[in-house]
């Protein structure tokens, strides 16, 4: 592995750690994130709830979208999860 490639990997790890630590240190943001994670986990684990969510979106004339689950190893997944939650509001 070249030095530049190794540095790129280290930089990604560093960014991930910074984002994770920032999320944990901001109590209000951590609470909101935690609540949304629980809602997303519920819908991801319940096919009936997911079906109802899709039907509600269709009744409102919107394109059905699923909620996105945050993944600790993907630093942008928190943004994706929060954005989709807002989009489905």
**pLDDT at res. 9:** 54
- Closest listed residue to residue 72, CA positions, set 30, 19, 31, 27: 19
Which among 61, 19, 65, 59 is positioned nearest to 40, based on CA atoms? 65
**pLDDT in the model for residue 48:** 97
pTM here is 0.68
pLDDT number for residue 74: 79
Q: What is the pLDDT of residue 31?
A: 84
Report how far Cα 41 is from the mean position of its chain's Cα atoms.
11
Q: Say what the pLDDT of residue 2 is.
A: 55
**pLDDT mean values, one per 10 residues, the chain (89 residues):** 53 70 72 91 96 95 93 82 89
């Amino acid at each position: 592995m070249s030095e530049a490639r190794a540095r790129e990997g280290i930089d990604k790890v560093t960014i991930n750690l910074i984002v994770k630590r920032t999320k944990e240190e901001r109590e209000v943001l951590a609470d909101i994130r935690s609540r949304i994670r629980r809602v997303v986990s519920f819908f991801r684990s319940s096919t009936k709830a997911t079906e109802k969510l899709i039907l509600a979106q269709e009744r409102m004339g919107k394109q059905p979208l699923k909620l996105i689950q945050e993944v600790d190893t993907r630093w942008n997944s928190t943004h994706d999860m929060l954005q989709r939650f807002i989009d489905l509001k």
